[in-house]
Amino acid sequence: MAVAPWIYSGRHHSTHYPKSTAMHQPNLLDLFWEGFQLTSHRFLSEQQLLLVLEPNRLPRCNHSSTVVCRVHDTHHRRVRERDLFDHRVWLEVPVRRVVCPRCGVRNEQIDWLDGRRHMTVALRCYVEVLVRILPIKHVAELLGLHWHTVKQIDKQRLQREVAEPDRSRLRYLLMDEFALHKGHRYATVVSCAETQQVIWIGEGRSRAAIRPFFTWLGEACARIEAVGMDMNTAFDLEVQHHCPKAVVVYDLFHVVAKFGREVIDRVRVDQANQLREDRPARQVIKRSRWLLLRNRQNLSEEQALHLDELLAINQPLTTVYLLKSQLKELWYAPSKTIARQRWREWFRLAMESGLKPLITFARRLKLYIEGIIASARFRLQTSVLEGMNNRIKVIKRMAYGYRDTDYFFLKIKAAFPGKAR
């Protein structure tokens, strides 16, 4: 079996191969560079290999695909190919301009080399595979490409693959916000509650920032039946303005998180401040934050025992802890009537507690009660979006942050294509 002579050639010497006497004889290289044959190679450095190609068939017009006999001129291009073992591979390709009887002077059609790109289709496809599982920076270092080149390839892939959502089938939406840069810039994400597909992302969280979403939604606004969200006034007002039939549903996760920050934390700090003379007891209360905020089923036996001991000796903390559990029951009511009854009972207990942070919170929550009671009819939980937010943080970390927000938003949409109905 004959072995290709370039395998045994010296590294720093050029090797030439005899040209085929026939215009085209099928060979293994047709799998890689159809229409061309390898005529020589040389090493540009210890790690870089240049392969010189020559055409072995008549050219075709890149516009009409017509086989053309007349060549106008030829220019040589040097393009990157996939690596060969530990070598970076470059190709020197003679690209012919042909005189097409239909189109005039045109470049020849080369199926494995798109337009004016400086890499082959094979290398481009390889990059597209790698960026699905590796950060851009790592792919660029692995292949010896500039990170911007890798990013552009991935962005164009996403623009090609991310499907346009079917607006006509949208009925239930979830809206939430996430930080682009913590404390400075935020973005709004909207998903379909039924399929969990991310259908729109926009920078900002104001009314003006989310208005383009409703413009994009167009006539489908009239078909929206319910929208789940946190107690964001901008979201609420825009939904009421553009979707007259939609019911706003406030999410359990955000309300309970707000209760933890504004009530439990405040009461815990007040109780700790009252024990300044008893340092050991004060430290116990100060360090009990996560015990009070976490769900009981997520505590270990030792943590649950410690929580019970804490609640047994502190009545105010017991009150807010129990009312936190009772507040959650509003979202699990089997009907709006029962949800309203539970709210009245909870509100009465809060007002009779004598705890200022709890009373203040209850009065503010009363303004949003219709959106909470609506959860008895529409079971919309933006906890799904909270899970998405965690995934978004991972995507952002993998890229060490994103300067191109359009690209970042495409990555998010690709990560949440939605489930089949």
Closest CA to 94 of 114, 111, 108: 108
Position 8 scores a pLDDT of: 35
Q: For residue 98, what are the β-bridge partners?
A: 71, 106
Beta strands in 282-380 (DSSP E): none
Position 27 scores a pLDDT of: 60
Distance CA 179, CA 365 (A): 25
Distance CA 264, CA 318 (A): 10
**Which alpha helices (H) appear in 300-382, and where do they start and end?**
301-313, 315-328, 336-352, 356-365, 369-373
Q: 2 is written with which tokens?
A: 């004959």
Note whether 317 and 311 are within 8 A (CB). yes
Which residue bears the tokens 């303004």? 367
Note whether 246 and 239 are within 8 A (CB). yes
Q: pLDDT (tens digit, 0 to 9) for every residue of the chain, 421 residues total? A: 333 434 334 444 455 555 544 445 556 666 789 889 898 899 999 999 999 999 988 999 888 888 888 889 999 999 999 999 889 999 999 999 999 988 899 988 899 998 888 999 999 999 999 999 888 889 999 999 999 999 999 999 999 999 888 998 999 999 988 888 766 788 999 999 988 899 999 999 999 999 999 999 999 999 999 999 988 899 999 999 999 999 999 988 889 999 999 999 999 988 888 887 777 878 888 888 888 888 888 888 888 888 888 888 889 999 999 999 999 999 999 999 999 999 999 999 999 999 999 999 999 999 999 999 999 999 886 667 667 778 888 887 766 556 788 898 999 999 888 876 5
3-state secondary structure of 378: coil
Beta strands in 118-209 (DSSP E): 172-181, 185-192, 198-203
* Pairing mode, strands 104-107 and 48-55: unpaired
**Widest distance between CA atoms in the chain:** 101
Q: What secondary structure does DSSP assign to 252-297, as a single string? A: HHHHHHHHIIIIIHHHHHHHHHTTTT-HHHHHHHHTTHHHHHS-GG
Distance CA 395, CA 415 (A): 9
Tell me 261's DSSP state: I
Residue 106 vs residues 94, 99, 111, 116, 117: alpha-carbon distances, Å: 14, 7, 15, 13, 17
Note whether 263 and 357 are within 8 A (CB). yes
Which residue bears the tokens 């340092």? 279
Residue 42 vs residues 31, 53, 396: alpha-carbon distances, Å: 22, 12, 42
Q: 349 is written with which tokens?
A: 């207990």
pTM: 0.78
Rg of the Cα atoms in the chain? 32
Position 253 scores a pLDDT of: 86
Position 385 scores a pLDDT of: 66
